[in-house]
Structure 1
Amino acid sequence: MKGTAQQILNVAQDLVRCRGYSAFSYADISQQVGIRKASIHYHFPSKEALGKELVKRYHTNFQQKLKAIEQSESDPHQQLQQFVGLYRSGLSERQMCLCGMLSAEIEVLPDSIQEEVRIFLSETQAWLTDLLASGEAAGHLQPRISPETEASLLLATVQGAQLIARAATDSEMAFDAIAKPLLATLSTAG
């Protein structure tokens, strides 16, 4: 995808991460990109088509970040910290994880977008499960329960921490107040 389509996706992503799927329109994108709504329809014939492509692109980018974490020289506990950092990073712009934001609206989303969100969450949870299991085997992490269940709880916690942090005066501090104790409970150090 090139030029205008990428600009449309970039603006749509920012809007969804800040407002949600139901709270943005092609008029919002048109105004920010500086093109007519008809031009958006040329690239994305419907809001559903735009939303589906948006989730796919976000998912691909997120998976690349997970792969980079996985391939880093960091130990599993540091990799877990880096993962949590992905959720912390958008808070300075008051942005949520795209798929976390869409999950809150899952019942009103078109089926194709619901499916993409579910795939994102399932693959993210599977990655976390693998990290927790390998971290436990290497002696760097100590899941309190099975790695699968711990991964679900961890993902739910960072998604929820974003919600709480978003409403706080100092969002990063509020996020850290939740994330740091969670990470400490999973660490074998100290």
Structure 2
Amino acid sequence: MAARRGPDDAGTAARILDVAEGLVQVRGFNGFSYADIAAELQITKAALHYHFATKADLGEALIARYAARFAEALSAAGSAGAAASARLAAYADVYLRVLSDRKMCLCGMLAAEYQTLPRPMQDAVIGFFDQNESWLEQVLELGREDGTLEFAGSARDTARMIVASLEGAMLVARPYGDIARFQAASANLLAGLAPSGGQAGPAGPLLAASQPA
């Protein structure tokens, strides 16, 4: 028989995920234990196992929640009929907000530990990046059509380049504690996708906002 859960179970599970997510984004998945979460929340390790029987279960739940939140951000970036260039700038801003909180992309951190992760987590990490690349591919194709983006090669290859560039820019900015490094890399990436002649179109204000202060 399944365990009967109390009214605060959902809240406790959410708090566990919140703490675990922060730990992964700072230390990595292998850089913390259930004891760290228990100490932070002042609960027993048994209570943790009640919600997430294994650390692998916790990891899968973390990725699923993070991917869902990222999907919401992508949906918001494409709302109100925004031009492709504006959507792309909004996408880069998602990464900037994470780095501004002195954290790294959850799945970027997990990718660095990929070989040590359980297979279900590995598959989920790949799924996260596939989701991002698919969204970007659609945006890039739209950009070619509406004239706000220009790039050589396929939209798929360019989408992969964008994800790799932003994840890498976060990683390199981290040891310096310098958000301006990421902002400069992001701004240059977006500028490189602007149409010939330097007209950024509707994305102009967002591109300017991405420049280092």
TM tier relative to shorter chain = over 0.9
Tell me which of 93, 99, 120 is aligned to 1:91: 99
Matched position secondary structure for 2:76? helix
Matched position secondary structure for 2:60? helix
| C-alpha distance 169-57 of structure 1, shift in aligned 2 (>3 A) | closer
Q: How does 1:103-122 map to 2 (within 5 A)?
A: 103-122=111-130
Does 2:22 align with 1:14?
yes
Q: Give the Cα–Cα distance (whole angstroms) in 1 for the partners of residues 76 and 94 of structure 2.
A: 12
Q: Which residue of 2 aligns with 1:132?
A: 140
Q: How does 1:68-79 map to 2 (within 5 A)?
A: 68-79=76-87
List, as ranges, runs of 4+ consecutive aligned residues in structure 1 with deviation greater than 3 Å.
none
Q: Give the Cα–Cα distance (whole angstroms) in 2 for the partners of residues 60 and 109 of structure 1.
A: 20
* Structure 1 unaligned regions, length at least 5: none
What root-mean-square deviation, in Å, do the aligned CA atoms of Structure 1 and Structure 2 show?
Answer: 1.1
Does 2:181 align with 1:174?
yes
Does 2:45 align with 1:37?
yes
Offset, 1:9: 0.2
Does 2:33 align with 1:28?
no
- Are the counterparts in 2 of residues 165 and 175 from structure 1 also a CA contact under 8 Å? yes
Offset, 1:187: 1.0
Offset, 1:174: 0.8
Offset, 1:90: 1.4
Structure 1 residue identity aligned to 2:112: A
TM-score norm. by structure 1 comes to 0.96
Greater CA deviation, 91-100 or 122-131?
Answer: 91-100
Offset, 1:136: 0.8
- Are the counterparts in 2 of residues 144 and 186 from structure 1 also a CA contact under 8 Å? no
Deviations 1:62-83 (A, max 9, x none): 0011011111342111110110
Q: Which residue of 1 aligns with 2:13?
A: 5
Q: Give the Cα–Cα distance (whole angstroms) in 2 for the partners of residues 84 and 92 of structure 1.
A: 12
Does 2:108 align with 1:100?
yes
* Structure 2 unaligned regions, length at least 5: 1-8, 200-213
Offset, 1:169: 3.5
Offset, 1:33: 1.2
Q: Which residue of 2 aligns with 1:162?
A: 170
Q: Give the Cα–Cα distance (whole angstroms) in 2 for the partners of residues 98 and 163 of structure 1.
A: 12
Q: Give the Cα–Cα distance (whole angstroms) in 1 for the partners of residues 177 and 78 of structure 2.
A: 33
The alignment of Structure 1 onto Structure 2 pairs a total of residues equal to 189
- Are the counterparts in 2 of residues 90 and 96 from structure 1 also a CA contact under 8 Å? yes
Q: Give the Cα–Cα distance (whole angstroms) in 1 for the partners of residues 61 and 80 of structure 2.
A: 29
Deviations 1:11-41 (A, max 9, x none): 0000001110000110111111111111000
Higher radius of gyration, 1 or 2? 2
Q: Give the Cα–Cα distance (whole angstroms) in 1 for the partners of residues 41 and 151 of structure 2.
A: 46
Structure 2 residue identity aligned to 1:60: A
Q: Give the Cα–Cα distance (whole angstroms) in 2 for the partners of residues 57 and 87 of structure 1.
A: 17
